[in-house]
Amino acid sequence: MRLLLRLPLFLYRIGLGHLLDAIFIMILTTRGRQSGKARHTAIEYRRHGSKIYVLSGWGTQPDWFKNLLADPLATIQLGHHTFSALADPVTDSAEALRVLNLFRRVAPWRYDIVLGKMIADDVNAQSLPDLSQRFTIMRLTIISDEPTLPGIRANWLWLWPLLLFFLVGLAIVLTLSKRPTEKS
């Protein structure tokens, strides 16, 4: 399971972050509240104008959430784009409801189940307004294109062996196709 959760970080590292951005997965880089080092987390998001919203499935317990409370400056990577952002917990119930509906818009039946597991309650379009305050939501407001924390750098070196393998294979196929065939 841990390997599966780290897969998005790996895909961003090999330069395929744009594939994850298509399914609303971004990299959130926070400053570790104890170590001071950059900490990277792959997390699902929704965008509304210059604001990015993320939900915490474990309330205020995740390290990324605690890190943002200690230092609200973060770096976000959306595909090939990197931004600096300021984090702020969402406390307004109307804004929380709007955010939850942004998540639900993609697949309401699936998100009703996921959101219900987050707060151990039945979630649907009718119950959501009454339950919206029970979710832990962080708002990230984009402040510039120049990140202050280092994001994950794409490393394209893996492409060279792949390209070499392809060219060698192509050369072999072309060589074999030009050989005269023996007649019996």
Is residue 117 included in any domain, yes or no?
A: yes
Is the CB of residue 115 less than 8 Å from the CB of residue 105?
no
Is residue 181 included in any domain, yes or no?
A: no
**For residue 137, what is the domain's CATH number?**
2.30.110.10
Q: Which residues pair with 77 in a beta bridge?
A: 27, 82
Domain that holds residue 53: 2-155
Is residue 151 included in any domain, yes or no?
A: yes
Is residue 178 included in any domain, yes or no?
A: no
Is residue 170 included in any domain, yes or no?
A: no
3-state secondary structure of 58: coil
Is residue 79 included in any domain, yes or no?
A: yes
Question: How confident is the model at residue 182, as a pLDDT?
Answer: 62
pTM of the entire predicted model: 0.79
Q: How many independent structural domains does the chain possess?
A: 1
Is residue 180 included in any domain, yes or no?
A: no
Six token digits for residue 155? 């490393």
Give 143-166 pLDDT, tens digit per residue: 987 877 888 877 766 667 777 888
CA dist 96 and 139 (Å) reads 10
* Dihedral angle computed from the Cα positions of residues 155, 31, 71 and 67, in that order, rounded to the nearest 10 degrees: 110
Give 77-122 pLDDT, tens digit per residue: 998 899 999 999 999 999 999 999 999 998 888 888 988 888 888 8
3-state secondary structure of 87: strand
Is the CB of residue 27 less than 8 Å from the CB of residue 17?
yes
CA dist 142 and 81 (Å) reads 12
Is residue 176 included in any domain, yes or no?
A: no
**Average pLDDT score, the chain:** 88
